[in-house]
Structure 1
């Protein structure tokens, strides 16, 4: 399956329709994963260091930690990219196992997720960014629908 097919299947699997709100998306991901989802801004995380956001999984929660930015759209893209990894099932199961001796106090699932972050040109990173773009378009579509933007401006 190519990236476009993978992304289209993931969007359809959300069963949210063509447009939805950010909150509806968060609830959907949380329900699908049967885990609490928390999005947390870290003031000390600096995008100049090359890290905009990361997804950490604990025994009971998914945490999306993101850098501070003045741009709402930029922040949303940080978060949507990490949600896309969850939706696409990246690092589910044994995909992200790492030697426990390297980071013994961090769960294997989280260790793998953190250490694979460097390969931005990988198929998983490209698919996550493509899905994040589609999610953003659907969220923008819901904003326009709620504001009657299309009705007024065509």
Structure 2
């Protein structure tokens, strides 16, 4: 596993450069996936399992479920981690039939299928978290750049 190379390749494939906004990233992901992306707060995610977010890919829409949090940055990191799984093509075997998912209740079979990714010491999880951190840095860089522009040019 070459984390730096894999993260750099995923960033290059994204095609947004080194700095971009969160909204730019969401739009790029929808374009890349060729289907809408929906992000939903879901208090029913099992905190005892350490699950902060889940990506449910379907043929028509990608859904990211997040545990509710008061911190916008914390929530964003949860979403970025799931977007990283998308960018890294980690969900090829996770396609969910939309009929299986009734919000906010997730059928036990679907949840078990997705909980395979709860082990944070696996290669896919390490790589997804590294890419999520890189995405967050790019978003922070964009925000800092916009702030500097406003300071200089008003």
User: Is TM more than 0.5 here?
Assistant: yes
Do the aligned residues in 2 keep the contact of 1:41 with 1:68 (CA within 8 Å)?
Answer: yes
**Stretches (4+) displaced over 2 A:** 43-49, 110-113, 149-152
Give the equivalent residue in structure 2 for 1:67.
67
Give the equivalent residue in structure 2 for 1:136.
136
Q: Is residue 16 of structure 2 the alignment partner of residue 39 of structure 1?
A: no
Give the paired residue count: 141
Give the equivalent residue in structure 2 for 1:100.
none
TM-score between both structures, scaled by the size of structure 1: 0.81
User: Going by fraction, where is helix more abundant, 1 or 2?
Assistant: 2
Which aligned pairs between 1:41-120 and structure 2 lie closer than 5 A? 41-45=41-45, 47-92=47-92, 95-96=93-94, 105=100, 114-120=114-120
Q: Which deviates the most, 20-29 or 41-50?
A: 41-50
State the Cα deviation string for residues 7-62 of structure 1 (Å, max 9, x = none).
01101111111100001001111111111101111234364551100000122000
Secondary structure of 2:87's counterpart equals helix
The change in CA–CA distance for 1:21 and 1:6 in structure 2 (over 3 A counts) is: same
The change in CA–CA distance for 1:78 and 1:5 in structure 2 (over 3 A counts) is: same
Cα distance in 2 for partners of 1:28, 1:113 equals 27
Q: Is residue 28 of structure 2 the alignment partner of residue 25 of structure 1?
A: no
Q: Is residue 2 of structure 2 the alignment partner of residue 16 of structure 1?
A: no
RMSD between aligned residues: 2.6
State the Cα deviation string for residues 62-111 of structure 1 (Å, max 9, x = none).
0000011111111111000000000011122xx458xxxxxx947xxx67
**What residue ranges of structure 2 are gaps of 5+ in the alignment?**
102-109
Do the aligned residues in 1 keep the contact of 2:88 with 2:128 (CA within 8 Å)?
Answer: yes
Cα distance in 2 for partners of 1:56, 1:79 equals 12
Cα distance in 1 for partners of 2:37, 2:12 equals 21
